[in-house]
Amino acid sequence: DFAALEPHIDAQTMQIHHGKHHAAYVNNLNAALEKHPELQGKSAVELISNLAALPEGIRTAVRNNGGGHVNHTMFWEIMGPGKGGEPTGAIADALKGAFGSFDSFREQMNKGGVGRFGSGWVWLVNAGGTLQIESTANQDSPIMEGKHPILGIDVWEHAYYLKYQNRRPDYLVAWWHTINWDAVNARLKK
């Protein structure tokens, strides 16, 4: 239901974000792999885990569109209607341990999202057993650097512009009302 995240994220944004933007990443990734049947059996995560191993002619296309597919697949999974609130389960303890408190963690994530110039993402990653906040440009994924994204927030204008226009900070504040901590806990465990 495209309206499921109202009023925090509007239905039209979700419709275009999923139906046009994410769809374009999938279509463009498939097009890039068309002449490379040996790569078609690999998952998108496998493909972006080792970009250097790819033929040079499709490396950028896989980076942008494979990254776009993997990032958005995560994004839909970690949001839900009637969610938000304080973290529960193992992630609550992990965030307290790494950042002092959930409020401090959220503040640092929002700061990272606002500070990303242009298009990109802000992430909570597991980097060799340590939880860290980082941001990436475009559709780059922490997976490309050997890190494991626990959660990420899309700060491309296409994620918020229809409702929030230039007010990325307001979108970030609203976004936390959609976070599905059960899904985040599942990713942490994995």
Interacting residues with Mn ion (CB under 5 A): 154, 156
Start-end of H helices in the chain: 11-16, 23-33, 44-49, 56-61, 67-77, 89-99, 102-115, 161-164, 168-175, 181-189
Taking the complex as a whole, how short is the minimal distance between the CB of residue 65 and Mn ion, in angstroms?
Answer: 12
* Beta-bridge partners for 154: 121
How many alpha carbons lie under 13 Å from residue 41 in its C-beta half-sphere?
2
* Beta-bridge partners for 130: 127
Taking the complex as a whole, how short is the minimal distance between the CB of residue 18 and Mn ion, in angstroms?
Answer: 9
Taking the complex as a whole, how short is the minimal distance between the CB of residue 17 and Mn ion, in angstroms?
Answer: 6
CB nearer to Mn ion: pick between 99 and 156: 156
Taking the complex as a whole, how short is the minimal distance between the CB of residue 119 and Mn ion, in angstroms?
Answer: 8
CB nearer to Mn ion: pick between 20 and 35: 20
CB nearer to Mn ion: pick between 155 and 188: 155
Please list, in sequence order, all residues whose beta carbon lies within 8 angstroms of the beta carbon of residue 98, skipping any fewer than 6 positions away: 105, 130, 131, 132
CB nearer to Mn ion: pick between 99 and 171: 171
* Beta-bridge partners for 121: 136, 154
CB nearer to Mn ion: pick between 140 and 154: 154
Closest residue to Mn ion: CB criterion = 154
C-alpha 126/C-alpha 53 separation (Å) is 23
CB nearer to Mn ion: pick between 17 and 87: 17
Taking the complex as a whole, how short is the minimal distance between the CB of residue 109 and Mn ion, in angstroms?
Answer: 17
Taking the complex as a whole, how short is the minimal distance between the CB of residue 169 and Mn ion, in angstroms?
Answer: 18
C-alpha 114/C-alpha 96 separation (Å) is 22
What is the bridge-based pairing of β-strands 130-137 and 120-127?
Answer: antiparallel
Pick from 78, 81, 155: which is nearest to 122 by CA?
155
